[in-house]
Amino acid sequence: MGFVQETITTPDGIKLVADVAGPVNAPAVVLMHGGGQTRHSWHGAMEHLARDGYHVVSYDARGHGESSWSPKGDYAVPALASDLRAVLARIPGPVALVGASMGGMTAFYTAGTSGDASPIKALVMVDIVLHPARVGTDKIVKFMNSHPNGFASIDEVVDAVAAYNPDRPRPKDTSGLYKNLRKREDGRLYWHWDPRLLKANAEPPIFTDYLVSVAHNVKVPTLLVRGGHSDVVDDKGVEEMKRLVPQTEVYDVAGAGHMVAGDRNDAFNAGVTSFLHRHLPAPRR
């Protein structure tokens, strides 16, 4: 299925690059990637949802992929939520938000600060809770801080990813990794995100204060998708999520780590679409 590329301008002038698919008059699903990723991490889920009859938008967050970097290095959750509202403004009907890690935090905060007239009708948090486990978040930050001088080759990139996620098979085709990389004038490969991101509270655990402060306002049906091997979402985090957002449903994906959709895409799609069919059904195509 082909995607249409669009550019959305935020109130502070950031250009967000998005892929769009599916009928524009159908209920919409907005997909938001995690810190250090790009919109391409949702490729399989996006195709599945569009075939299922949804209007789907997947965009590169500010400072990531093909979207603009913030001139001020502003990657805090209110800025990311403002960007999401700019995306929602182009969608005419009801919306479900699906966000992984940083994207899930953005979605949650936006749902909790949008009021009763919001078009947001369902929320999917992908392997992220209000207080993620420190062992997992420390691992993420360590990975994102590693290799500040880039990589000499794609093989070095594969080695770095394999060290972070040893349970995932090494890719036979490495071409997809280039979507997460920039090649600079020195000929080396660098991750496709602004390094200032790590100084701007754009990954857990610092986002948590924002999330807890708005949890009482999150009233829409909510699904927490947890990787069975995740070191980011533990039982304590799930219990707090259920206490503060009592309508939360939990869907465990066996054999998946923090990158749930990438680790077990078919199982991820099955759980998310089952939830959406109940709370934001779309005409089948």
Measured distance CA(191)–CA(203) in Å, rounded: 16
> What are residue 96's DSSP bridge partners?
29, 122
Half-sphere exposure of 135 (CA within 13 A, CB side): 6
284: DSSP letter: -
**Residue 204 DSSP SS3:** coil
Strands 120-126 and 222-227: parallel
Nearest residue to 31 via CA among 82, 90, 75, 95 = 95
Nearest residue to 8 via CA among 76, 68, 56, 81 = 68
Q: How many CB atoms lie within 10 A of CB 164?
A: 16
Nearest residue to 223 via CA among 283, 158, 268, 263 = 268
For the chain, how big is the Rg over CA atoms in Å?
A: 18
**Residue 278 DSSP SS3:** helix
Q: What is the DSSP string of 219-263?
A: -S-EEEEEETT-SSS-HHHHHHHHHHSTTEEEEEETT--SSHHHH
CA of residue 136 relative to chain centroid, distance: 16
Strand blocks (E) in 47-111: 55-59, 95-100
Per-residue pLDDT of the chain (285 residues; tens, 9 = 90+): 678 999 999 999 999 999 999 999 999 999 999 998 999 999 999 999 999 999 999 999 999 999 999 999 999 999 999 999 999 999 999 999 999 999 999 999 999 999 888 999 999 999 999 999 989 888 888 888 888 888 999 999 988 888 887 777 777 788 778 888 888 888 899 888 898 887 765 444 567 889 999 999 999 999 999 999 999 999 999 999 999 999 999 999 998 888 898 888 999 999 999 999 999 999 865
* Superfamily name and number for 4-133+202-279: Alpha/Beta hydrolase fold, catalytic domain (3.40.50.1820)
Structure tokens at 6: 């669009």
